[in-house]
């Protein structure tokens, strides 16, 4: 599903450039539940941005759903993001003047779906994350956990190939974190590829595979014990 | 695009974005509104002045010149300077025969006379006129008729009076036609009554017109002419006619060709051109000020949208992460700009129209209005509105470009 070969990325900082990703090789198959771990500055956010088509890589190859990603302009990137990728952010990134249902329906709006149809689909996904009763509430009227559930529903609503979650529990307390992770696991069990970035060990433990990054290179890539126990 | 305009989401987003900055949006809208308001009111007022001017001078043929005789100021052919001159009927014949491009040459006589009707009296200007006078300076007849050819031929004692004179000499609601009034102790049958425009050609109390031939006989004027009105045919320069006529008259009366005081003249066309030139200048100024104010207002809208876009950077980033194409973001911002300018424009036009109504009700009424029908033509309004929409679109391009030039990754970066 996601295949990365010798990926390099550096950022210019003044006259110098900061080499962030130093030749990554990573292959994530369909239906995997992967956590990328690393301390800040390890390059995990950069990796997510490249995988999420929010940023372009310098060299190396990136295949998304078998398609080589190169020379993307903003328009093509936007279409691919809409079609293949669902985003879950640490700070939820809901649009604060739209209610839960409208937030979930937004990606469908950009894929060109009619209002009635997209609201129906959005409602199904809100039900799926257990927030059907909150459909007309604004984000400011929802708790952190609820907001993240809305964000997850929004990430899923276009039936993407991959869900990219950037520190999805970073702003949540541990019990809510756990329930959000349970939701992600459930989605994964239904066959969705889920790609989580975290620096919390116990969150990473709940996934199937942990890839550890340090200073722009992969230092370990292993299946979690928990999975083998089950 | 059409579907986009009808989409509830489009309007919901414009609404929510505007709602976020109510105060600032309101002030900016007022800016643009002020611009178009000024444009509408000034153009309306200029139109009102123009209409008023046309109303005042509308009775005159604008390509006309008045000529009268004075005294010579240069000795010529044995005559000393200071010789008195009098126009004669034969002069008119010569003018008619020798000068091209004339429409009418109308002789007139004028005097002041005590006028009596029963116990009511007044001192009024009395004019001897030909029927053609009605064509040069249109009389708006309320009752009866103007002097006709038969009156001239038979030297009839008939008169046409102005409404003001009627008011002074007759009882209210009395029908003047067929009644007799005494002018210098001679009875005249009233055959017509007219209403004078704003600018009268005689005394302040209006005029009495009697047949020219009657005037000559009654006041013992022989074949002399008091003064004459000459109108040019369309396409002929009245100023040229004026100098040709004067040159011809100097020749006929043995006056030095360079004697500029011998014959006096008043070129109405020239005078009117001065005023219309002033009005045109005023309209130009109005457009200039109005458009400049509009542009300033539209720039203010561009500015506020730029600020709004900066504040919405994160939201725009989210939308783009969710699959909004750059064009979809752009048109959203442009729509906001166009929407604001259109609303502001509409309000300005409505408000401006309202003020014009007030101006019309206060300055445009009464006997001597300053303005007449201060209005703005619909095409002008459409042009102004179209200009606004175009400017709104153009100015919207700036914040729209800013909105898409921020890469989503930067927009989404955690604070």
pLDDT of residue A230 exceeding 60, the answer is no
Mark whether B258 and B293 lie in a shared domain. no
Distance CA A117, CA A110 (A): 13
B264 and B206 both lie in a single domain: yes
Residues in B closer than 8 angstroms to A109, CB to CB, are 9
User: Are residues B250 and B230 located together in one domain of the fold?
Assistant: yes
Number of folded domains that form chain A: 1
Q: Is B173 helix (H, G, I), strand (E, B) or coil?
A: coil
* pLDDT on residue B202: 45
Chain B residues in contact with A87 by the CB 8 A cut-off are: 321-322
A96 CA to chain B: closest CA distance, Å? 9
Q: Quick one: average pLDDT of A141-157?
A: 93
- Residue B294 sits in the same domain as residue B239: no
Across chain B, which has 415 residues, the per-10-residue mean pLDDT values are: 68 77 80 83 83 70 81 84 84 85 86 85 86 80 86 88 84 85 87 72 66 87 86 81 86 84 82 79 83 81 82 86 88 85 88 87 73 80 84 87 82 67
> Are the CB atoms for B45 and B51 separated by under 8 Å?
no
Q: What was the pLDDT predicted at B252? A: 85
CA distance B177 to B192: 6
Residue B29 belongs to domain spanning? 2-57+273-412
Nearest to B323 among A55, A78, A91 (CB): A78
Q: Is A150 left (phi over 0), alpha (psi -120 to 50) or beta?
A: alpha
Reported residue count of chain A is 230
> Testing the interface with B: which of A20, A55, A94, A97 to mutate, by most B Cβ within 10 A?
A97
Contacts of B353 (CB under 8 A, 6+ apart): B40, B44, B376
Can you give the residue range of the structural domain that contains A200?
30-56+73-229
Could you tell me if residue A9 is inside a domain?
Answer: no
Residues of B in contact with A98 (CB under 8 A): 16
Residues B102 and B226 placed together within one structural domain of the fold = yes
Q: How far, in whole angstroms, is CA B89 from its chain's centroid? A: 37
Q: Is residue A6 part of a domain?
A: no
Q: Which of residues 9-28 of B touch A (CB under 8 A)?
A: 9, 16, 19-20
Which residues on adjacent β-strands are paired with residue A198? A37
The residues near B375 (Cβ < 8 Å, ≥ 6 apart) are: B44, B47, B48, B51, B356
Local structure of residue B80 (DSSP, 8 states): P
Could you tell me which residues are beta bridge partners of residue A18?
A11
Residues A106, A78 contacting (CB under 8 angstroms) = no
* Rounded Cα–Cα distance for residues B70 and B97 (Å): 23
Predicted pLDDT at A33? 93
Position A23 in a domain:
no
Report CB contact under 8 Å: A106, B322.
yes
CA distances from A15 to A11, A12, A18, A21, B400 (A): 11, 7, 10, 19, 31
Where does a domain end: B227, B252, B269?
A: B269
CATH number at residue A162: 3.40.50.300
Q: How many CA atoms lie within 13 A of B193 on its CB side?
A: 18
Do B263 and B304 sit in the same domain of this protein? no
Cβ separation of A107 and B407 shorter than 8 Å? no
Residues B219 and B306 in one domain: no
Tokens found for residue B320: 């783009």
Taking CB atoms within 8 Å and a gap of at least 24, the contacts of A107-116 are A107/A82, A107/A154, A107/A157, A107/A158, A107/B322, A107/B323, A108/A157, A108/A158, A109/B9, A110/A78, A110/A82, A110/B319, A110/B322, A110/B323, A110/B324, A110/B325, A110/B328, A111/A82, A111/A83, A111/A158, A111/B323, A115/B7, A115/B8, A115/B9
> In percent, how much of chain A has pLDDT > 90?
48
Q: What is the ipTM of this complex?
A: 0.89
How high is the pLDDT of residue A148?
A: 92
Q: Supply A147's token pair.
A: 């907001």
**Alpha-carbon gap, residue B75 to B79, rounded angstroms:** 5
**A111:B412 CB<8 A:** no
Distance of alpha carbon B323 from alpha carbon A80, whole angstroms: 8
Residue of A nearest to B12 (CA): A98
**SS3 category, B306:** helix
The pLDDT confidence band at residue A151, using thresholds 50, 70 and 90, is: very high
Q: Is the pLDDT of residue A18 over 70?
A: yes
Q: Token pair for residue B29?
A: 């809208």
What is the DSSP pairing of strand A33-37 with strand A209-214?
Answer: parallel
Residues A55, A56, A60, CA angle at the centre, nearest 5°? 135
The answer to whether B322 contacts A54, with C-beta atoms less than 8 Å apart, is no
The pLDDT assigned to A86 comes to 92
**B289 lies in the same domain as B179:** no
Report the alpha-carbon distance of residue B75 to residue B72 in Å, rounded: 7
Q: Is A62 helix (H, G, I), strand (E, B) or coil?
A: strand
pLDDT of the residue at B367: 67
pLDDT tens digits, residue range A65-114? 888 988 888 888 899 999 999 999 888 899 888 889 999 999 998 888 88
Same domain? B11 vs B115: no
A23-48 pLDDT tens trace: 889 999 999 999 999 888 888 888 98
| A168 phi/psi in degrees, rounded to 5 | -65, -20
Per 3-state DSSP, chain B is made up of helix, strand and coil in percentages (nearest 5) of: 55, 20, 25
Residues B387 and B317 in one domain: yes
Domain-located, residue A155 = yes
Tell me what the mean pLDDT of segment A144-172 comes to. 91
Q: What value does the mean pLDDT take over residues A122-139?
A: 93
Distance from CA of A195 to the nearest CA of B (A): 16
B406 CB within 8 Å of a chain A CB: no
**Can you name the residues that pair with A67 across neighbouring β-strands?**
A64
Same domain, B27 and B116: no
CA distances to A33, B226, B249, B366 from B264, rounded to whole Å, are: 107, 12, 11, 36
Which residue of A lies nearest to B318 if distances are taken between CA atoms? A93
Q: How many domains does chain B have?
A: 2
* pLDDT (0 to 100) of residue B58: 61
* Contact status of B370 with chain A (Cβ, < 8 Å): no
Average pLDDT for chain A: 89
Q: Are the beta carbons of B314 and A93 separated by less than 8 Å?
A: yes
Please report which confidence band the pLDDT of residue A226 belongs to, taking 50, 70 and 90 as the band edges.
low
In a domain, A177, yes or no: yes
Q: Give the count of Cβ contacts less than 8 A between chain A and B.
A: 64
Query: pLDDT tens-digit profile of B61-73?
Result: 667 888 888 888 8
Q: Report if residue A196 sits inside a domain.
A: yes
Tell me, yes or no, whether B73 and B215 share the same domain.
yes
């Amino acid at each position: 599903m996601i295949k990365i070969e010798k990926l390099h990325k550096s950022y210019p900082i003044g006259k110098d450039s900061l080499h962030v990703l130093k030749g990554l090789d990573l292959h994530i198959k369909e239906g995997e539940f992967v956590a990328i771990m690393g301390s800040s500055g390890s390059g995990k956010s950069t990796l997510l941005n490249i995988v999420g088509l929010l940023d372009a890589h310098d060299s190396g190859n990136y295949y998304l759903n078998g398609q080589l990603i190169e020379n993307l302009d903003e328009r093509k990137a936007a279409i691919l993001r809409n079609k293949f990728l669902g985003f879950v952010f640490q700070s939820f990134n809901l649009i604060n003047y739209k209610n839960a249902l409208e937030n979930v329906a937004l990606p469908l709006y950009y894929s060109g779906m009619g209002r009635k149809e997209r609201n129906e689909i959005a409602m199904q996904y809100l039900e799926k994350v257990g927030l059907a009763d909150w459909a007309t509430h604004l984000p400011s009227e929802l708790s952190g956990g609820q907001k993240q559930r809305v964000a997850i529903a929004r990430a899923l609503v276009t039936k993407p190939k991959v869900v990219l979650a950037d520190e999805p529990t970073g702003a949540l307390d541990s019990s809510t974190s756990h329930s959000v992770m349970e939701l992600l696991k459930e989605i994964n069990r239904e066959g969705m590829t889920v790609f989580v970035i975290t620096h919390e060990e116990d969150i990473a433990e709940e996934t199937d595979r942990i890839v550890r990054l340090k200073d722009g290179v992969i230092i370990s890539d292993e299946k979690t014990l928990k999975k083998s126990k089950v | 695009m059409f579907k986009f305009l009808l989409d509830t989401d489009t309007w919901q987003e414009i609404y929510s974005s505007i709602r976020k900055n109510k105060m600032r949006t309101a002030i900016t809208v007022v800016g643009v509104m002020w611009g178009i308001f000024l444009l509408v009111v000034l153009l309306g007022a200029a139109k009102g002045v123009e209409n008023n001017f046309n109303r005042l001078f509308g009775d005159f043929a604008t390509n006309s010149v008045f000529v009268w005789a004075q005294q010579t100021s240069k000795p010529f052919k044995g005559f000393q300077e200071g010789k008195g001159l009098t126009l004669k009927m034969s002069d008119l014949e010569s003018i008619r025969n020798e000068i091209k491009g004339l429409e009418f040459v109308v002789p007139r006589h004028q005097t002041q006379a005590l006028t009596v009707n029963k116990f009511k009296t007044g001192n009024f200007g009395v004019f001897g006129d030909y029927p053609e006078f009605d064509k040069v300076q249109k009389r708006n007849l309320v009752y009866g008729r103007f002097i006709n050819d038969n009156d001239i031929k038979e030297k009839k004692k008939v008169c046409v009076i102005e409404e003001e004179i009627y008011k002074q000499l007759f009882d209210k609601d009395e029908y003047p036609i067929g009644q007799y009034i005494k002018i210098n102790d001679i009875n005249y049958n009233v055959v017509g009554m007219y209403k004078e425009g704003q600018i009268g050609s005689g005394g302040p109390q209006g005029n009495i017109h009697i047949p020219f031939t009657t005037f000559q006989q009654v006041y013992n004027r022989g074949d002399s002419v008091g003064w004459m009105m000459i109108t040019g045919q369309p396409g002929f320069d009245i100023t040229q006619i004026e100098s040709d006529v004067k040159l011809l008259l100097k020749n006929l009366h043995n006056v030095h060709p360079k004697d500029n005081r011998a014959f006096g003249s008043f070129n109405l066309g020239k005078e009117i051109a001065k005023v219309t030139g002033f009005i045109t200048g005023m309209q130009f100024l109005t457009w200039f000020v109005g458009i400049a104010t509009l542009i300033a207002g539209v720039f203010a809208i561009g500015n506020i949208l730029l600020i709004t876009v900066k504040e919405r950077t994160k939201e725009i980033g989210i939308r783009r992460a969710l699959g909004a194409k750059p064009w979809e973001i752009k048109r959203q911002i442009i729509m906001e700009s166009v929407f604001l300018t259109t609303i502001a424009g509409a309000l300005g036009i409505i408000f401006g129209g309202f003020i014009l109504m007030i101006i019309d009700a206060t300055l445009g009424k009464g006997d001597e209005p300053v303005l007449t029908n201060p209005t703005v033509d619909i095409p002008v309004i459409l042009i102004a509105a179209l200009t606004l929409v175009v400017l709104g679109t153009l100015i919207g391009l700036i914040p729209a470009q800013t909105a898409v030039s921020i890469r989503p990754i930067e927009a989404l970066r955690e604070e």
